[in-house]
Chains A and B, each alone.
Chain A
Amino acid sequence: MENEFSASKPIYRQIAEQLFKKMIRGEIKPGEKLPSVRELAVQTQVNPNTIQRTYNEMERMGVVETRRGQGTFVVEHTEVIDDLKREMRSEVIGQFVQSMEELGLSKQDMLLELDRFLQKGDPK
């Protein structure tokens, strides 16, 4: 997980999003132990305080829990991950729809274009 981070978003949030995506794809399983703060800091080449903030934020959201002396674990119940999946999905769709509206496409055109793209790939 070596990264170029986008400039406009705090890094702690970008790392949280990367971890969320891994959970959604099932690469990180419910109940699994996450890397230690130091390990993830070295992997991502990011300040350990930033990683700690990522973990705190994820804990506040109820996605992970810290067990004293053992580390940080993904929660066991999958509903939280399902919620995350729904949330991130509607965020991506929302951005897509907004961009299309900015290009002046109607809802119908959007569906049509999307369908065409999925059938044939990028038409250019």
Chain B
Amino acid sequence: MKIELKNVTKKFGKEYALKEADLSLSPGKIYGLTGPNGSGKSTILKLITGLSFPDSGSVLIGGRPAARKETKNIAYLTELDMFYDPFRVKDMIHFYETQFSDFRINKAWDLLKDMKIDGDKKIGKLSKGNRGRLKLALTLARDAAVVLLDEPFSGLDPMVRESIVKSLLTYLELDKQTIVIATHEIHEIEQILDEVVVVLNGRIEEKKDVEQLREESGMSLLEWLKRFIEEKN
């Protein structure tokens, strides 16, 4: 599904979280949404999910205004986790199955098997890395047209990060999904991005094809980004 932001402004009190933002994201691509902390990345994701609404402008998902009931098409991995610690992993899976009609339980088990997570284990006893993996598994097990990942690597060690990248490549369905990964740890995902979107101080400053960027600038995405942000500040 196509995602469009048209001249979107969002304020929290007097502060602009997002100012006159235009953005169009197409199916079949993996987008990296990046920028320093507090630049507006999470605000953009929340507007897409319909958890938050613009003060002006419009947010369209597949041509329809983003709203709570449109979220059935959107799988959203938030920075928070809302797992119930006494649950076992399998209880959480069955819970998700009852909540989302597009949840594929076999896919969920495949993912957990790849990640070597035991279904009988209590969630409270999982390591931080496995908690992060479980979050991702539950998100990717949905056949959603839009997949939004907010900081999927945050606080996880390099091994876990690598396994997350692997799961993304194994289970994403690029022929029908639009994927947006918000992260400031761009180095981790440089190789899997089609395009990068740079957000600075609530403004969308750049949207660019990553391969083209490498070819034109002769720099890695990370180097290019550092320079870009320095020039803008």
Residue of B174, B192, B212, B218 near A7 (CB, 8 A) is B218
Which of these, A5, A38, A53, contacts B191 with CB under 8 Å?
Answer: A5
> With a CB–CB cut-off of 8 A, which chain A residues contact B191?
5, 11, 44-47, 50
**Which residues of B are found within 8 Å of A50, using beta-carbon distances?**
191, 211
Count how many chain B residues have C-beta atoms less than 8 Å from C-beta atoms of the other chain. Answer: 21
Q: How far is the CA of A29 from the CA of B168 in the complex (A)?
A: 31
Known: A7-B218, A11-B191. A45 touches B166 (CB 8 A): yes
Alpha-carbon separation in the docked complex, A17 to B16 (Å): 47
Say yes or no for B110: interface residue by CB 8 A criterion: no
B18-44 interface (Cβ within 8 A of A): 28-30
- Which chain A residues border B193 with CB–CB below 8 Å? 47
B169 at the interface (CB under 8 A from A): yes
Chain A, interface size: which category?
A: 10 to 19
List of 4 A-B pairs having minimum Cβ-Cβ separation, nearest first: A7-B220, A8-B218, A10-B211, A47-B192
Let me know if B170 and A38 touch, CB within 8 A. yes
Interface of A is mostly: helix
- A124 proximal to B (CB < 8 A): no
Closest to B215 in A: A10
Interchain CB contact under 8 A, A45 and B192: yes
Residues of chain B lying within 8 A (CB to CB) of residue A47: 30, 169, 191-194
Complex Cα spacing A38 to B193, Å = 15
Flag if B211 contacts A8 (CB, 8 Å).
Answer: no
Contact partner of A8 (CB less than 8 A), chosen from B165, B192, B219, is: B219
Query: Could you give 15 example pairs across A and B, Cβ below 8 Å?
Result: A8-B219, A9-B214, A9-B215, A11-B211, A44-B191, A45-B162, A45-B165, A45-B166, A45-B169, A45-B192, A46-B191, A47-B30, A47-B192, A49-B194, A50-B191
State the CA gap A65–B28 with chains docked (Å): 23
Chain A CB within 8 A of B55 CB: no
Is B223 interfacial (CB-CB < 8 Å)?
A: yes
B28 and A11 contact, CB distance less than 8 A: no
> Are B174 and A49 interface neighbours, CB within 8 A?
yes
Interface of chain B residues 160 through 214 with chain A (CB within 8 A)? 162, 165-166, 169-170, 174, 191-194, 211-212, 214
Tell me if A42 and B170 are in contact (CB < 8 A). yes
Contact (Cβ within 8 A) A10 B169: no
Q: How far, in whole Å, are A70 and B212 apart by their CA atoms in the complex?
A: 30
Q: CB-CB < 8 A to B192: which residues of A? A: 45-47
